Amino acid sequence: MAQAQTIPTPEEFLSVVQEAAPKKLSMVINRAGKEITVLIVPKRRQLVDRFGNKSEIGLIGISRAGTKSVRHGVFQSAWRAVGETWRISTFTMDAVGQIVMGQRSAEDLGGPIRIAQMSGQVAELGLTSVFWFLAVLSINLGLINLFPIPMLDGGHLIFYGIEAVRGSPVSDRIMEYGFRFGLAMILALFVFVTYQDLSRFKVLTNFVEGLFS
């Protein structure tokens, strides 16, 4: 039986709904002081945003009434920033896990080309969106850097952990092979996401067609 989860913000609610389709969701809604239990099934839909990007998400047919800015104190802002960082981190790790398990398409991965494209798109939405995008990008890069892959900080932590357990560092040969393996993984990931970007923007298709036209 799934554990009950409190959803305090619209952003978290959207994340749950978008990732749930086509699973059933049992929700307890507080309406005018009265709790109402409803069972909903988000439908999977493909959306195209204003920039032409396609994505498949779960929808239940509702939208927010609008947005407003709220000012918080210094300490409350810091606390909410920590909470938002945790939310984004867990959402990112869940998405990575779904891709590894085959529950989510690898097309959601993007490389330098997609980052550059999204940067230009976000810049059109205003300075607030730019700061938000930079924050999300920084969090994602930080998470990747903590992956247990040699060459990354996460890989170094693994070696430090082994050293703490054994009481002595691993041999130079093992570290060398580990770093080679890590470098190969990073290069393979870079080539894969770059290929995804080129395929998404039809760069390869246009190039091949140009050769034979």
For the segment 17-47, what is each residue's pLDDT rounded down to a tens digit? 766 666 777 777 777 778 888 777 777 776 6
Show Cβ contacts of residue 80 under 8 Å, excluding neighbours closer than 6 positions. Answer: 72
For the segment 181-199, the average pLDDT, to the nearest whole number, is 86
In the three-class reduction of DSSP (H, G, I as helix; E, B as strand; rest coil), residue 58 is classed as: strand
* For the chain, domain boundaries: 109-213
Confidence of residue 59 (pLDDT cuts 50, 70, 90): confident
Q: Which of 43-52, 54-63, 98-107, 141-150 has the lowest mean pLDDT?
A: 43-52
Whole-angstrom distance, CA of residue 189 vs CA of residue 95? 16
pLDDT band at 201 (very low <50, low <70, confident <90, very high): low
Q: How confident is the model at residue 1 (pLDDT cuts 50, 70, 90)?
A: very low
Q: Which two tokens stand for residue 7?
A: 């959803």
